[in-house]
């Protein structure tokens, strides 16, 4: 579980299945559907089975620098508004 303070996260399932946990809710998501993971609400995703292909979007942008840092950068979750309980 983690929480974003600045962006909403959208996860589109291209292939496979996942379980999205948003707060106390648990939703199964399959191919062609998406999970909306809003800022300020603890959330996580869990892949069901061996693998899944996902497309993740963050709105507004910027979090991609945490996921794929520039050369020499050491990403700090708190600098990106992320908290992990």
Q: What is the pLDDT of residues 40-80, one digit of tens each?
A: 999 999 999 999 999 999 999 887 777 777 788 887 888 77
What fold does the segment set 3-69 form as a domain? Jelly Rolls (2.60.120)
From 4, 11, 7, select the one nearest 61 (Cα to Cα).
Answer: 7
Question: What pLDDT is stored for residue 53 in this prediction?
Answer: 97
Query: Any idea where the domains of the chain sit in the sequence?
Result: 3-69
Cα separation, 54 vs 47, in Å, equals: 10
Q: What is the mean pLDDT of the chain?
A: 91
User: Any bridge partners for residue 36, and if so which?
Assistant: 10
Assess contact for 35 and 10: CB atoms under 8 A: yes
Residue 54 phi, psi (nearest 5):
-125, 155
């Amino acid at each position: 579980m983690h929480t974003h303070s600045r962006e909403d996260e959208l996860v589109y399932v291209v292939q496979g299945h996942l379980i999205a946990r948003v707060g106390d809710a648990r939703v199964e998501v399959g191919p062609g559907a998406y999970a909306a993971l809003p800022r300020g609400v603890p959330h996580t995703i869990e892949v069901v089975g061996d693998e899944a292909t996902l497309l993740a979007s963050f709105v507004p942008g910027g979090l991609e620098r945490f996921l794929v840092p520039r050369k020499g950068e050491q990403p700090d979750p708190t600098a990106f508004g992320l908290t992990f309980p």
